[in-house]
Amino acid sequence: MDKPLEGIRVVDWTIWQLGPTATTMMADLGAEVIKVEQTGSGDPGRGMSSIGGLQVDPAGPNFYFEACNRHKKSLAVDLKTAVGRQIVHRLVERSDVFVQNFRQGVAERLELGYDKLCKLNPRLIYASASGYGPDGPDSQERALDYLGQARSGFMYLASAPPAAMPCYIVGGIADQMGAIMLAYGTMVALLARERTGVGQRLDTSHLGAMVALQGLTVSAAGIQGRAMGTPTREAAANPLWNHYKCQDDKWIALGMIQGDRYWATLCELVGRPDLVSDPRFANHTARTEHRAAAIAVLDQIFASRPLAQWLELFRAQGELIYSAINRIEDLMDDPQVLANQYVVEYEHPMHGLMKLVGLPVKFGSTAGDARGRAPELGEHTEQILTETLGYSWDEVEELRRAGAI
C-alpha cells in the first residue's frame, strides 16, 4: 500500500527533539524528509551522551538521535555561506513543507525566514516551533523541554502532596507533545493548501502544546477559578479510582469511576462480600467519607496475591475495569502493545535488532511504518544535490571546494 504522505517533501531544519520528532512522524507516514544540518557539527542531538540518567552506549546506536530522526536523508551544508543557503533555497522551491525550531530571528538572519521562503515557493507550508509561542514578551526567550514543563504548570500537576514539590517527567514530554502539535498543524495546513492552492505559516510551542495537553485541568481553572488537585493514593476520593500494591510488589490500577456500579462485584471477586453491607462503604458518598478505611481494606486484600493472579481473576470476571501498572521496560513484551504494533522490531544494518516506537494510529487503506534508521551526517548530500536539485558533479565539486558542503 502507498503511505499516506508519499509525494510530500519536507525540508527539516530542526534540532534536538521537538522539531525532529514532528518530521519523523511525517517520515513514518511516507513523506520524504530531508534533514538540513550544519557541516561539521550537525544536529546537536547526535552528540547526546546521556539523558534521564541513562548513558548512551558509545559502541551502539544513539537511542536519542535514532528515535527522533529515522527514515530521513541528511544534507550537510554550511548555512553561513551564501552558496550553502542557495542550496536550501533551491530545495525549498521543490518542496512542500519547511520545518524549523530555532530561536526567533535565527532563520531570518540566515535567509531562511518565512517572508523569504514563501516568495520562492508560494505553496510552501512553513512550520515553526518555539518555547513560548511567536507573540508576547517572552517570545524570544530560549526554552527546552524542562522549561516547557515548568512554565505550563505540568510539573506541579505531576507532583504529589503534601509537599507538592515540582516534579520533572523524563523523556521529553513537552518536546513530544510539541512535536505532535507541530505535525498536526502541518497536516491541517497541507489540507488547506489542497483546497486553496496557497501555503501558509504555522507556529506552535512547548507552552502551547502543554497547555493543550492539560485541557481539562486548565479549563477547570478558567471556569471555576481553581485547578483540580492531585491527591495522594491514600486520600483518593474514589477507592475504585486508585492503585494498589500486590504481593510481589507489582501494582494494579482500578479504573471504575462509577463506584456504585462496580463495588458489589469487586467485593464478591476479592472474596469479601461482607463489605457490601458495611455502612461505611454503602455508596459513593460513604466510601468517599470513609476513604482511608476503604483504601486500607483494599490494600490488605491486594497484598494477599501476586499481580498475575489478580489479573487472571479480573480477566475471567469480565466486567471490572482494571490494568497492570507497567514499567516502561514492560512495554517491550506487553502482548497488547505488540499486537497493535505500538512497539515494533527493526533490524538496524549496523547495530542489529532493536525495538522502536510504532505508529499510534492505524489506517484502513494506507499504512505507515516506523521501521527505519537515522542517517549519518551528510550521508545523502551528493544524492540530493544531483538527483533532487539537478547539480552536475562538476558543480558538486565546486561546492565542496567552496566549503558549502
Dist. CA 18–CA 193, nearest whole Å: 24
- Given this model, what pLDDT does residue 170 score? 93
- Given this model, what pLDDT does residue 162 score? 66
E-assigned strands of 262-404?
Answer: 322-324, 343-348, 352-357
Q: In this predicted structure, which of 57-61, 128-132, 260-264, 280-284 has the lowest mean pLDDT?
A: 57-61
Q: In this predicted structure, which of 57-66, 82-91, 212-221 has the lowest mean pLDDT?
A: 57-66
Q: Residue 49 — pLDDT band, cuts 50, 70, 90?
A: confident
Percent of the chain with pLDDT over 70: 99
166-179 burial, b if ≥16 CB within 10 A, otherwise e? eeeeeebbbbbbbb
Q: Residue 160 — pLDDT band, cuts 50, 70, 90?
A: confident
Instruction: Determine the CATH number of domain 9-215+340-401.
Output: 3.40.50.10540
Q: Residue 223 — pLDDT band, cuts 50, 70, 90?
A: very high
DSSP 315-342: HHH-SS-EEE---GGGGGG-HHHHHTTS
Mean pLDDT calculated for residue range 283-291: 97
In tens, the pLDDT along 67-109 reads 999 999 999 999 999 999 999 999 999 999 999 999 999 999 9
Domain extent listing, the chain: 9-215+340-401, 233-329
Mean pLDDT calculated for residue range 7-22: 98
Dist. CA 45–CA 64, nearest whole Å: 7
Dist. CA 259–CA 149, nearest whole Å: 33
390 backbone φψ class: left, alpha, beta (φ>0; ψ -120 to 50): left
CA distances (Å), origin 151, targets 13, 131, 155, 235: 25, 10, 8, 28
Looking at the predicted structure, is the pLDDT value of residue 163 above 70?
Answer: no
In tens, the pLDDT along 296-344 reads 999 999 999 999 999 999 999 999 999 999 999 999 999 999 999 999 9
The top-level CATH class assigned to 233-329 is alpha beta
* Positive/negative CA dihedral, 46, 48, 51, 54: positive
What's the longest Cα–Cα distance across the chain?
A: 88
Quote the mean pLDDT of the chain.
95
